Amino acid sequence: MERISKEQVKHVANLARLEFSEKEIELFAKQLDDIISYAEQLNELDTENVEPTSHVLDVKNVLREDEVKPSLDQKDVMKNAPDHEDGQFKVPSVLE
Amino acid sequence: MSLFDHRISDIHELLHKKELTVTDLVDESYKRIQSVEGKVDAFLHLTEEAARKKAAELDSKVAANELSGSLFGIPVGIKDNIVTKGVRTTCASKLLENFEPIHNATVVNQLMDAQAVTIGKLNMDEFAMGSSNENSGFKPTRNPWDLDRVPGGSSGGSAASVAAGEVFFSLGSDTGGSIREPASFCGVVGMKPTYGRVSRFGLVAFASSLDQIGPITRTVEDNAFVLQAISGHDKMDSTSANVDVPHFSAGLNEGVKGLRIAVPKEYLGEGVSTEVREQVMQSLKTLEGLGATWEEVSLPHSKYATAAYYLLASSEASANLARFDGIRYGVRVEEDNLIETYKKSRSQGFGDEVKRRIMLGTFALSSGYYDAYYKKAQKVRTLIKQDFEEVFNKFDVIIGPTAPTTAFKIGEKVNDPLTMYATDILTIPVNLAGVPAISVPSGLAGGLPVGLQIIGKFFDEATIYRVAHAFEQATNFNELKPKL
């Protein structure tokens, strides 16, 4: 059974902010389908009463005092920016 | 003989006696790099000017009898996903080709405090996703034992540079086997510490609940030395564990008499080559001869680990890599509007494997599939963790192979993601459980190194080192070197 259609690949690509050629979409649909069908072996296991593990250490919220400290230098922050102006990141238009 | 055949303690003695200078050590690195780097391709960038300056500075300290720092003068290579202030850090991705971090990772500061000398940044699979280094956005690293073969991944440059004698030791990172598998393929010692033992601050995140930094060295003793220098709680990483750090090398010579070893039958079954299986049995005999006992056990959920791992690691990666959008750093491909700019920048910047994992992770987290895939995998992770807990109730360590085979040929698995993922079947469960594990050389098969994996209890790296050291002393397999 085909689990992942080309339409689904396009939908997920949009969510992930990626774009692909038609040829790539075909390849990804097949490869993702293989990986997902492989992953479906997990359904052999009854996990009804099993708690999920998101983290191996028993760490709860780690809190600290909210103290005012010097922040990063603006020049440093802009150092790797592809485009900036007046100490701000410059981006293409967001609204039409 | 290379200066790097010594142990750190020997080097320090020579420095103390003024029979050696730090400049000699740094020379050794760059000379070796000059002669073999064309074949191995372990480095992405070198920091020679800074290294020579640092060497001169340390030599004047020696002259003034101010030799202090546990890694004083020792040349180190750093995997290129660990940020270094003012030194390019690319994660072997075209997207970060020109990225110059504005701070150091905590481990880098710790190495500097210990007075190690950074030689350069090491090649890897892009964003640490891969088992062969073929996913580097720039070039594949080659295995020093056979240049037609992969060094393993994703810390392939870290393992190959140590095996080739280009650096004394290196740092790698391990999410599903990325320190241990290349250490196994290259015949060196690689440790993945307990999750939380080493700060991840400044390690570019792949899968945050699994990633851990660790040392790659030629000997077990040196490995313990380096881990000592980089361990400990860090307020900049709230997932670093606030637990005591023992003296890792204190019990190194205590031997393995009475040690209880568990050998999971799943680690010697289907998919593991005959030669690797034979090496493990031979190694167990060696340990038996030293007074340890072993018994076959079962980690029944092992076969589900790879599937659970790829769902979880890819899901975390899809979230972590959302930050690479060409706005604040990285290469931007400018389009008319913001969304198209994101899409073009990411699509041109990321390689195929990274895109594949982002896609898988985004799918597993997307509405309608979250419970069936992501949450299911998290539950299976619990079962895998419980498997380990049960075995560790009765045993001190778990031993098996690190990788199912020796190093494979470049190009052999690159077009088949599932076959490539199967390379990590014996290392992945360890990351899911969070426990520590080392890979140590256990001899050659067909002229290629085989690694023995020793897995320990939570925060019990000391026992792993004790077993690994006893094995190393009894076999001297660490002295085998590639002919380059």
- Show the tokens assigned to B411: 């190009």
Per residue in B210-245, pLDDT (tens digit) is 999 999 999 999 999 999 999 999 999 999 999 999
Please report whether residue A21 resides in a domain: yes
ipTM: 0.95
- Name the residue among A20, A32, A83 with its Cβ closest to that of B363: A32
Q: What is the secondary structure of B52-121 as a DSSP string? A: HHHHHHHHHHHHTT---STTTT-EEEEETTB-BTTB---TT-GGGTT---SS--HHHHHHHHTT-EEEEE
Q: Flag if A80 and B100 touch (Cβ within 8 Å).
A: yes
From chain A, the residues in CB contact with B334 under 8 A are 82-83, 92
The 3-class secondary structure across B147-183, one letter per residue, is: CCECCCCCCHHHHHHHHCCCCCEEEEEECCCCCHHHH
**Average of per-residue pLDDT across B188-197:** 98
Q: In terms of residue numbers, what domain contains A28?
A: 6-44
Q: How sure is the predictor about B349, in pLDDT bands with cuts at 50, 70 and 90? A: very high
Residue type, B25: L
Average pLDDT, chain B: 97
Residue A33 lies in a domain: yes
Answer yes or no: is A84 within a domain: no
Average pLDDT for residues B173-195, to the nearest whole number?
Answer: 98
Q: Do A81 and B328 touch (CB under 8 A)?
A: yes
Nearest by CB to residue A42, choosing from B327, B344, B380, is B380
Which of B380, B430, B457 best tests the A interface by mutation, with the highest count of A CBs <10 A?
B380
Q: Which residues of B touch A9 (CB under 8 A)?
A: 359
By the 10 Å C-beta count (0-12 exposed, 13-18 middle, 19+ buried), B289 is classed as: exposed
What distance in Å separates the CA atoms of residue B216 and residue B197, rounded to the nearest whole number? 16
Does the pTM surpass 0.95? The reply is yes
Which pLDDT score, from 0 to 100, does residue A1 have? 46
What's the pLDDT score for residue B421?
87
Residue B166 pLDDT = 98
Contact check, Cβ <8 Å, B360/A35: yes
The answer to whether residue A39 sits within a structural domain is: yes
Average pLDDT over residues B258-272: 95
**Neighbour count for residue B84 (Cβ, 10 Å):** 24
Residue A64 resides in a domain:
no
CB-based contact B382 A15, cutoff 8 Å: no
Nearest to B433 among A34, A56, A94 (CB): A56
Inter-chain CB proximity A50 and B329 less than 8 Å? no
Is the pLDDT at B68 greater than 80, yes or no?
yes
CATH of the domain at A37: 1.10.20.60
Exposure class string for B355-364: b at 16+ Cβ within 10 A, else e: bbbbbbbbbb
Average pLDDT of the residues in B316-325? 97
CB contacts of A12 in chain B (<8 Å) are 359, 362-363, 366
Compute the distance between CA of residue A2 and CA of residue A49 in angstroms, rounded to an integer.
30
Is A51 domain-assigned? no
A37 pLDDT above the threshold of 60: yes
Contact B402, B427 (CB under 8 A): yes
The whole-angstrom distance between A44's CA and the closest CA on chain B is: 10
Q: Does B362 touch chain A (CB under 8 A)?
A: yes
Whether residue B355 lies in the annotated active site: no
pLDDT at B309 over 50: yes
In angstroms, the CA B463 to CA B261 distance is 12
To the query of whether residue B240 is one of the catalytic residues in this protein, the response is no
Q: Cα–Cα distances in Å, from B30 out to B36, B47, B87, B136?
A: 10, 10, 18, 23
Q: In this predicted structure, what is the pLDDT of residue B270?
A: 84
- The predicted structure's pLDDT at residue B140: 97
B131's tokens: 């088992």
**Predicted confidence band of residue A59 (pLDDT cuts 50, 70, 90):** confident
State the average pLDDT over residues A19-43. 93
Total count of domains within chain A:
1
Q: From CA B313, how far away is CA B124, in angstroms rounded?
A: 17
* Residue A13 belongs to some domain of the structure: yes
Is the bond preceding residue B154 a cis peptide, omega within 30 degrees?
yes
Per-residue DSSP letter, B399: E
Chain B neighbors of A37, CB-CB under 8 A:
none
In the residue annotation, B178 being an active-site residue is answered as yes
Closest chain A residue to the Cα of B100, Cα to Cα: A80
Q: In this complex, do A77 and B310 lie within 8 Å of one another by their Cβ atoms?
A: no
Q: Where are the beta strands (DSSP E) in B193-299?
A: 212-217, 260-264, 293-297
Q: What is the pLDDT of residues B91-144, one digit of tens each?
A: 999 999 999 999 999 999 999 999 999 999 999 999 999 999 999 999 999 999
Contact present, B248 and B465 (Cβ < 8 Å)? yes
Check: CB of residue B145 under 8 Å from CB of residue B163: yes
* B382/A53 Cβ within 8 A: yes
Specify the amino acid at residue B267. Y
Residue A37 belongs to some domain of the structure: yes
Q: Can you give the pLDDT at residue A2? A: 61
Residues B406-462: tens digit of each pLDDT: 999 999 998 888 888 889 999 999 999 999 999 999 999 999 999 999 999 999 999
Q: What's the angle, vertex CA B414, arms to CA B410 and CA B415, rounded to 5? A: 140
Across the A:B interface, residue pairs with CB atoms under 8 Å apart total: 158
Q: In B, residues 2-61, which contact A (CB 8 Å cutoff)? A: none
| Gap from A68 CA to chain B (nearest CA, Å) | 16
